[in-house]
């Protein structure tokens, strides 16, 4: 049984502290590989679609993303296979943005509408340290931007032009869906 990691919530300094890049040696280290496995297990256990290392109190530039088919938190979004990205950098982003709903495991029970680049290209390293390039649009592009923001100490609330759409999950389901 994989041990689950504790998820830091907004207010814990880990969420605002940012993260440092991983060296090739650090990425290959057994402790980092175990961290990646534990982040995946923690994301799945929480029905998340992504998690960033600072959310589990590790200030390193590492994210994992996966959208399971019929994820209970995002049942209407298309499935995305598991991806692990170390040192992700946005190498291109569309000028066009689109608004969409976001939630966050570190900001539980809330949803808000956030403008994000509609499409982007990300470069980084996979868990074996090989160069990785991802072109994403729609929900995946949104998740990537959300998770990279965590590496810079930002949460989606910071990206909302105003808080008028910020809703508790229950009210969101009743009034916004
Ligand atoms: Ni988040």
Query: From ligand 1's centre to the CA of 90, what distance in Å?
Result: 17
C-beta atoms surrounding 25 within 10 Å:
9
Residue 77: what pLDDT?
Answer: 86
Active site residues per annotation: 147
CB-side exposure of 144: number of CA atoms within 13 Å? Answer: 30
Render pLDDT for 137-164 as a digit per residue (tens, 0 to 9).
999 999 999 999 999 999 999 999 999 9
Residue 2: what pLDDT?
Answer: 73
Phi and psi at residue 88, in whole multiples of 5°?
-65, 140
Q: How confident is the model at residue 59 (pLDDT cuts 50, 70, 90)?
A: very high
Residue 1: what pLDDT?
Answer: 60
Render pLDDT for 118-144 as a digit per residue (tens, 0 to 9).
999 999 999 999 999 999 999 999 999
Query: From ligand 1's centre to the CA of 10, what distance in Å?
Result: 10
Q: Rg (Cα) of the chain, in Å, rounded?
A: 15
Render pLDDT for 64-85 as a digit per residue (tens, 0 to 9).
999 998 888 888 888 999 999 9
Measured CA to CA, the distance from residue 26 to residue 12 in angstroms comes to: 25
Measured CA to CA, the distance from residue 83 to residue 101 in angstroms comes to: 21
Strands (E), 18-78: 50-52, 62-67
Query: From ligand 1's centre to the CA of 30, what distance in Å?
Result: 26
* Cβ contacts of 154 within 8 Å, gap of 6 or more: none
Residues bordering ligand 1, an ion, CB closer than 5 Å:
104
Q: pTM of the predicted model, to two decimals?
A: 0.96
> Mean pLDDT score of the chain, rounded to an integer?
96
Q: Are the beta carbons of 41 and 2 closer than 8 angstroms?
A: yes
């Amino acid at each position: 049984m994989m041990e689950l990691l504790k998820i830091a919530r907004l207010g814990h300094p880990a969420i605002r502290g940012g993260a440092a890049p991983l060296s090739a040696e650090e990425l290959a280290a057994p402790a980092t590989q175990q961290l990646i496995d534990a982040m995946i297990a923690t994301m799945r256990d929480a029905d998340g679609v992504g998690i960033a290392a600072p959310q589990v109190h590790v200030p390193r530039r590492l994210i994992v993303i996966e959208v399971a088919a019929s994820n209970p938190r995002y049942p209407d979004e298309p499935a995305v296979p598991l991806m692990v990205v170390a040192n992700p950098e946005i190498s291109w982003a569309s000028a066009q943005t689109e608004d969409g709903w976001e939630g966050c495991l570190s900001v539980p029970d809330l949803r808000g509408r956030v403008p994000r680049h509609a499409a982007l290209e990300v470069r980084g390293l996979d868990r074996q340290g090989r160069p990785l390039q991802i072109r994403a649009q729609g929900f995946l592009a949104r998740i990537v931007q959300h998770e990279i923001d965590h590496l810079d100490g930002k949460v989606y609330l910071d990206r909302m032009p105003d808080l008028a759409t910020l809703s508790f999950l229950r009210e969101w389901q009743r009034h916004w869906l």
